[in-house]
Structure 1
């Protein structure tokens, strides 16, 4: 795996290093030792799948505040997404800033989202599946979020969503 830093501390882009031969390819997607060596120890305890049949589906921007804050490793295993990480950590030099990455089944790229950073994505193709590896175990009732188009963050989405949940569309303007 190749770990690349982003403009937001703790948000990492992870690319695979596939071993290819006439049969196809094989690549490691997660190894606790590799993450620790990159300075980001991560041992997921939960794996979830988001199935998205429609292009233009927006999910997010979600996060779990302390004491139930989560670390997520996100990857598209079918289709393609515009993936966003938004820094909500008040003590961070990049608070209120965002980074994005295109994740697809073809590029096998992943985005590591640390505690205190909200996450969301917009599907760019039909039938897009997004795999989440998460730690700690999700705690229902502690979810939080910010609106995808809150002017305080000015996220440059590739286009407006065609489909969004009422909850995600109704988040108020967020003051960090």
Structure 2
């Protein structure tokens, strides 16, 4: 396999990058000065060597504990469980949540070979049991696998920890969405999650 094909094959493994885009990126890099490619390679090497999961919540960090876990101003009685570390950024951008996080490391998907032991659900249960947590917010994606993961997390916490509220983020119509284009499940969830005005 040529160097061009090898790089294109690796780039095409990235999410949202198909074979044609991978080749386009490869040829773009070849047009750049060699030091540009070296800087990219160095940045990828540094990323692989320095970034690791937080020892407490599994967020990505260069330290032993991530910035959220080290922040003493955070509400330590609430944990928001998310599928991936990238989900934390989306929640943080709202400016509405000031608690802690727990990254599950994916979602249950038996067809893809992802079972409960492949995720950090057991570590979440331990954190809740050993800490002074009053609420766990489950913020998995509204997919079949995300819903199955949320239900599994809820059952694990209910079976091993008492006195902790397990809540789920609301789902429904997006701001600016039209009812006529929404699917039935989304409309049903929006009606179920309605609130007083």
TM-score in same-fold range (> 0.5) = no
The structure, 1 or 2, with the larger RCO (C-alpha pairs under 8 Å, 6+ apart) is: 1
Higher share of residues assigned strand: 1
Higher share of residues assigned helix: 2
Report which of the two structures shows the higher radius of gyration computed on alpha carbons: 2
